[in-house]
Chain A
Amino acid sequence: MRYMRFGYVTAPLLGALWAVVIAITVTVAMSFMTGAPFKPSALWALVFGAASGAAVLYLGRSVVIGAAVVVFAAVAGVGFGPIVVGEGVPLAPTLLGGAACGLFVAWPLVTILKGCPAGDLTRHEFEEAILRFLVGVGYIFFTVIVVVPFYVMVMTSMKSQQALLQNPLDFSLDWSQGLGLFRSYFELFADFNFDRYLLTSLFVSVMTVLITLAFSVPGAYAVARLRFKGQKAFSRSILLIYMVPLIVLALPIYIGFSMIGLRNSIFGILLIYPVTTIPVALYMLQGYFRGLPGEVEEAGLMDGLSRLQVIWKITLPLSLPALASVSLYVFMIAWNEFLLAFMLLDDPSKFTLTRGVAMLNSSEIPRQHLMAGAVIATVPIMVLFLGLERFMTKGLTAGSVKG
């Protein structure tokens, strides 16, 4: 390690490695966007990256970035460099890829090597640089692994089967089709009853939230505020329920529902869903209730309110944020639930959205329909999540004791 702690060693080394990462990332991105055959060249990436790293040490920031963009684009246009394109790729995307590569190699390198002198590095400076490099790689890695599947999901839903088989990488959209891009979605709503599934899922999820709250609010209040034998044991053991695998419960539920004729009914689903969410809701709420000041409730009791009135008029209004978090979390569980819906619902007129999407997974139905179904199932929960991220994150943190 000691031999590496010189600016003129560290900088080219980090630059070379960084250029490899960027070359791969840019090729993947360009391939996914244009479908054209882009290829990273590790050797050239190492060479050009090392040069960029060294340049950062000795030249000014804007000079390096500008030069890198121009040089990377130029060599890509000529036909070598960190990014190699196959035959028949037009000049514009080639230059764009090269320029992007140059920009994303040089710009972050300036930050990574910030404060690194050309000569001796202290251990602190050296590790800081390594750390910034790793952080950069980390951001790229996590962003790519999260974004790519969702990108593929959305884009596949707007392609045609032939186009996908011809070039699975070509996700560029044919804008000339206009609304025809959304053909799969129109077909799902028109021919596959997805409008009904959407409503069923909404109904089931909202009812699950309401029933869960109706059961868990009084229970949570009792555990948090009232004294009774077994209170401690109860608040600890309520979550043990989630140790039981759902499939172990689903089998007897399936048998029981078959025998009493509750299979294939939304009512049956609504008997089960809330019970899978009540314990975690109760646990989350009792934690919140404990944190509320008891004095206000006591004042209410003094003024002659009954316990239930206290819950309704004092505790609940004070815990609106917690209720929002719990509701969102429960809504998400019910909306995403697949196993029970899959086992208990066979009648296509009663499907929930997840069950409807499962139906699309057949060789007779084109892939883009399946992906369109996946998008339809994902978008509402994403909108909720992004719109109310604060509550959602709180709910997830408090509630993720449930698998």
Chain B
Amino acid sequence: METSDTANHSAPPAAGPLAKREARLAWGLLAPTLISVAMVVILPLLSIFWISFKPVGLADLRPPVPIVNESLRGRPKVDGDEATLRYRVRNSSQDKPITGVSFTDVLPEGLEITSVDPRCEISGSLLTCTAGDIEGGFRDDFTLDVVVSQAFIDADPDLDETEAVVTGTSSNILTNFSFTLENFARVFDGSEFWGVLGVTMFYTVFGTIGALVFGLFAAMLLNKSFKGQGVLRGLYLFPYVSPVIAVAFTWVTLFDPFSGSANALLIQMGVTEGPINFFGQKPLALVMVTVFEIWRYFPLSFLFILARMQSIDEGMFEAADMDGASPFQKFWYLSLPQLLGILSVLFLLRFIWTFNKFDDIFLLTGGNAGTRTLTVNVYEQAFAVGNIGAGAAVAVVVFSVLLIFSVLFFRYINQEEGA
């Protein structure tokens, strides 16, 4: 953190102590970011591959544990009464075994032990019992016959105060080494997968192109200064800035078949006879979620395209005016070529993010009525069906498709640059 020479940035990198110190400082400054990203992005990404080969359901997230309940039976009242100290051991899971179960407990003061369960040992006031391997749904009692003393009755100790410490290893499905390919088999099973993929591609392609085209139109509208231009620009950004949950539920309300204003309006204008179930019938629901996607994200393309338009040199248009070019010619031959760069970048970015989109469809239709995309399918498999493994398998498929896109895109970009 000493002074180091930043002035000779252009000089060839020297491996001197100063340069080394600078690099160390840089990595030090970046370390928090790198570590946090590794923990929250890289680690889950790796684990999703692991989980996708695991036969794991929602219920398996809570591993089976042995449970011990301690109770004093026989209601001893006075000095010398006989009683039974009972430890009831059970397996919290109905079907999964736990191995090597044993528990220890500190016996309360003032008890005289008369007989001990053969599986238990006592040393001093410490009781150690071994249950060994227990099956799912296992339940057994370990009993000690005792005679109580007056001291015990006077003290009336709370048995739970010294809780029995129980140990045992259960095989956690997430960390053991049993693997299965069934998750993937289930994902690719039947025609469902191709249907989902088709829906995803429709949503992605038309959502992306639609948002770009509408963004381009909006940008052309606002690419001139007039009173109220700022107001309109702010207004047109509303769909993007508001919380998705608010606008999605508004759309659902607006297009509700029974109490929705859109249907009422269409019926009143005589466009349709009866109410249309916009988000509930098959091809229409997919079109509607795509329209929502366009509506919500055209502001983004609009913002970018407008920024690019405003940086186009005005002189060019003046020259074109001199030459008698018409407005459409100016747009087609002058503006559009200048915008191609930003348009293709936007296309790539929006394509990937539309493909990744989950919340919008989830909130609008929940993936019903033929709108289940791959990302919604991850949730559907993992939480609605309760098969975490299958959900993870879909997630792996999502990620793989994404990688393929990226490779294709990068190859395309490289070609463009090479040409």
Contact = CB atoms under 8 A, between A and B. Distances in A.
Interface of A: 27-28, 31-32, 37-40, 86, 123-124, 127-128, 131, 135, 138-139, 142-143, 145-150, 152-153, 156, 164-165, 167-169, 171, 214-216, 218-219, 221-223, 225-229, 231, 234, 241-249, 251-253, 255-256, 258-259, 271-272, 274-276, 278-279, 282, 294, 297-298, 301-302, 304, 306-308, 332, 335-336, 338-339, 353-354, 357-358, 361, 367, 370-371, 373-375, 377-378, 381-382, 385-386, 389, 392-393, 396-397, 400-401, 403
Nearest to A297: B6
26 contacts: A27-B269, A38-B268, A127-B326, A143-B235, A146-B235, A219-B30, A222-B25, A227-B13, A227-B26, A228-B26, A243-B402, A248-B45, A252-B48, A252-B392, A271-B40, A278-B33, A278-B37, A332-B241, A338-B363, A353-B243, A361-B249, A373-B246, A374-B249, A377-B242, A381-B242, A389-B234
B260 A147 contact: no
Contact of A228 (B3, B22, B43, B362): B22
A373 B247 CA distance: 11
A393 B353 CA distance: 20
B250 A298 contact: no
B51 A252 contact: yes
B61 A354 contact: no
B106 to A, nearest CB: 27
Interface in B8-56: 9, 13, 19, 22-23, 25-27, 29-30, 32-33, 36-37, 39-41, 43-45, 47-48, 51
B356 A246 contact: yes
A165 B264 CA distance: 10
A282 B32 CA distance: 12
B24 to A, nearest CB: 8
Q: 9 shortest A-B CB distances, which residue pairs?
A: A403-B353, A374-B246, A245-B356, A228-B23, A252-B44, A218-B29, A226-B26, A222-B29, A275-B40
B408 interface: no
B74 to A, nearest CB: 38
Contacts of A164: 259
Contact of A227 (B19, B259, B353, B399): B19
A128 B43 CA distance: 58
A396 B33 contact: no
Nearest to A141: B217
A305 to B, nearest CB: 8
Nearest to A150: B238
A281 to B, nearest CB: 10
A152 B44 contact: no
B261 A152 contact: yes
A219 B32 contact: yes
Given A127-B327, A219-B32, A244 B399 contact: yes
B241 A382 contact: yes
Contacts of B32: 214-215, 218-219
Contact of B242 (A241, A282, A382): A382
B232 interface: yes
A128 B236 CA distance: 25
Interface of B: 1-4, 6-7, 9, 13, 19, 22-23, 25-27, 29-30, 32-33, 36-37, 39-41, 43-45, 47-48, 51, 61-62, 174, 217-218, 220-221, 230, 232-247, 249-251, 253-254, 256, 258-261, 263-265, 268-270, 295, 300, 303-304, 307, 324, 326-328, 349, 352-353, 355-359, 362-363, 375, 378-379, 382, 388, 391-392, 395, 398-399, 402, 406
Given A169-B268, A403-B357, A393 B36 contact: no
A165 B233 CA distance: 35
Interface centre among A39, A169, A332 (most CB of B within 10 A): A169
A338 B245 contact: yes
Contact of A153 (B7, B250, B398): B250
B243 A338 contact: yes
Contacts of B40: 249, 253, 271-272, 275-276
A378 B246 contact: yes
A251 B237 contact: no
Given A28-B265, A252-B44, A357-B249, A243 B258 contact: no
A168 B264 contact: yes
A236 to B, nearest CB: 12
Contacts of A171: 261
A249 to B, nearest CB: 5
Contacts of A245: 355-356, 358, 375, 395, 398-399, 402
A135 B327 CA distance: 12
Contacts of A302: 3
Contact of B326 (A124, A139, A225): A124
A246 B271 CA distance: 40
Given A354-B245, A378-B243, A246 B358 contact: yes
A216 B48 CA distance: 27
A218 B29 CA distance: 5
Nearest to A131: B327
A143 to B, nearest CB: 7
Contacts of B249: 357, 361, 370-371, 374
Contacts of B261: 32, 152, 168-169, 171
A221 B41 CA distance: 22
A385 B260 contact: no
Given A244-B41, A381-B241, A169 B264 contact: yes
Contacts of B13: 227
A373 B243 CA distance: 11
Interface centre among A37, A38, A152, A216 (most CB of B within 10 A): A152
Contacts of A307: 1, 4, 25
B395 A377 contact: no
Nearest to B331: A131
B2 A306 contact: yes
Contacts of A243: 352, 356, 402, 406
Given A32-B261, A332-B241, A251 B30 contact: no
B47 A298 contact: no
A357 B245 contact: yes
A232 B379 CA distance: 37
A191 B124 CA distance: 57
Contact of B243 (A219, A304, A381): A381
Contacts of B245: 336, 338, 354, 357-358, 374, 377
Contacts of B235: 143, 146-147
A272 B44 CA distance: 12
B221 A298 contact: no
B238 A338 contact: no
A248 B48 contact: yes
A61 to B, nearest CB: 19
Given A37-B268, A153-B250, A138 B41 contact: no
B25 A251 contact: no
B265 A400 contact: no
A164 B295 CA distance: 25
A256 B44 contact: yes
Given A32-B265, A143-B235, A251-B395, 10 more contacts: A32-B261, A38-B268, A169-B265, A219-B32, A242-B353, A243-B402, A251-B44, A256-B47, A339-B362, A367-B259
Contacts of A335: 243
B47 A248 contact: no
